[in-house]
Structure 1
Amino acid sequence: MASLQQTMGETYVPTELLIAHIAKIHASISSLESLRPSKPVNSLFTQLVKLCTLPSSVDVRCLAVDLQRMRESLINLCGQAEGLLELEFSTHLNKLPHPMSHLNLFPYYTNYVKLASMEHQILYDSGVVEPKSVAFVGSGPMPLTSIILATHHMKSTRFVNFDIDGSANTLARQLIKKDDDLEKRMEFKTCDIMDVTEEIGSFDCIFLAALVGMSKEDKVRILGHIRKCMKGGGTLLVRSANGARAFLYPIVEEDDLHGFEVLSIFHPTNDVINSVVLVRKPIY
Structure 2
Amino acid sequence: MEALQILGTETDISEEVLIARVIDLHGSISRLETLKPCKEVNGLFTNLVKFCILPCSIDVSTLPPHLQAIRESLILFCGRAEGLLELEFSTMLGKIPKPLNNLTLFPYYDNYIKLAHLEYKILIDNGVVNPKKVAFVGSGPLPLTSIILAMQHMKNTYFDNYDIDSMANEVAGKIVASDGELEGRMKFWTRDIVEVGEELEGYDCVFLAALVGLKKEDKVKILSHLRKYMKQGGVLVVRSAKGGRAFLYPVVEVADMVGFDILSIFHPSDDVVNSVLLARKPILI
Q: Same fold (TM over 0.5)?
A: yes
Which residue in the other structure is 2:258 paired with? Answer: 258
Q: Is the 8 A contact 2:10 2:54 kept in 1?
A: no
Deviation digits for residues 189-211 of structure 1 (CA, Å, limit 9, x no counterpart): 11111111011010000000000
Q: Which SS does the other structure have where 2:18 is aligned?
A: helix
Q: Which SS does the other structure have where 2:239 is aligned?
A: strand
**Structure 1 residues 10, 222: closer, same or farther in 2, change over 3 A?**
closer
Q: CA deviation at 1:64?
A: 1.2
State yes or no: 1:119 paired with 2:119.
yes
Which residue in the other structure is 2:79 paired with? Answer: 79
Q: CA deviation at 1:239?
A: 0.4
Query: How many residues were matched structurally?
Result: 276
Q: Distance in 1 between matches of 2:133 and 2:88?
A: 29
Q: Is the 8 A contact 1:111 1:271 kept in 2?
A: no
Q: Distance in 2 between matches of 1:159 and 1:222?
A: 20
Q: Which SS does the other structure have where 2:224 is aligned?
A: helix
Deviation digits for residues 202-230 of structure 1 (CA, Å, limit 9, x no counterpart): 00000000000000000000000011000
Q: Which SS does the other structure have where 1:101 is aligned?
A: helix
Output the amino acid matched with 1:170: E
Q: Distance in 1 between matches of 2:107 and 2:58?
A: 27
Q: Distance in 1 between matches of 2:13 and 2:127?
A: 37
Q: Distance in 2 between matches of 1:107 and 1:178?
A: 21
**Structure 1 residues 240, 10: closer, same or farther in 2, change over 3 A?**
closer
Identity of matched residues, %: 62
**Structure 1 residues 82, 10: closer, same or farther in 2, change over 3 A?**
closer
1:226-265 matches, cutoff 5 A: 226-265=226-265
Output the amino acid matched with 1:46: T
1:150-229 matches, cutoff 5 A: 150-229=150-229
Output the amino acid matched with 2:210: A
Q: Distance in 2 between matches of 1:271 and 1:129?
A: 27
Structure 1 moving runs of 4+ over 2 Å? none
1:87-126 matches, cutoff 5 A: 87-126=87-126
State yes or no: 1:22 paired with 2:22.
yes
Q: Distance in 1 between matches of 2:10 and 2:131?
A: 42
Output the amino acid matched with 1:54: L
Q: Which SS does the other structure have where 2:161 is aligned?
A: strand
Q: CA deviation at 1:271?
A: 1.8
Q: Distance in 1 between matches of 2:229 and 2:198?
A: 7
Q: CA deviation at 1:185?
A: 0.5
TM-align CA RMSD:
1.0
- Unpaired segments ≥5 residues, structure 1: 1-8
Q: Distance in 1 between matches of 2:94 and 2:108?
A: 18
Q: CA deviation at 1:10?
A: 6.8
- Unpaired segments ≥5 residues, structure 2: 1-8
Deviation digits for residues 154-174 of structure 1 (CA, Å, limit 9, x no counterpart): 010000000111111010000
1:47-86 matches, cutoff 5 A: 47-86=47-86
State yes or no: 1:135 paired with 2:135.
yes
Q: CA deviation at 1:180?
A: 1.7
Q: CA deviation at 1:11?
A: 5.2
Which residue in the other structure is 2:4 paired with? Answer: none
Q: Distance in 2 between matches of 1:89 and 1:251?
A: 28
Which residue in the other structure is 1:5 paired with? Answer: none
**TM-score for both structures, normalised by structure 1:** 0.96
Q: Is the 8 A contact 1:12 1:57 kept in 2?
A: no
Q: Is the 8 A contact 1:261 1:279 kept in 2?
A: yes
**Structure 1 residues 282, 16: closer, same or farther in 2, change over 3 A?**
same
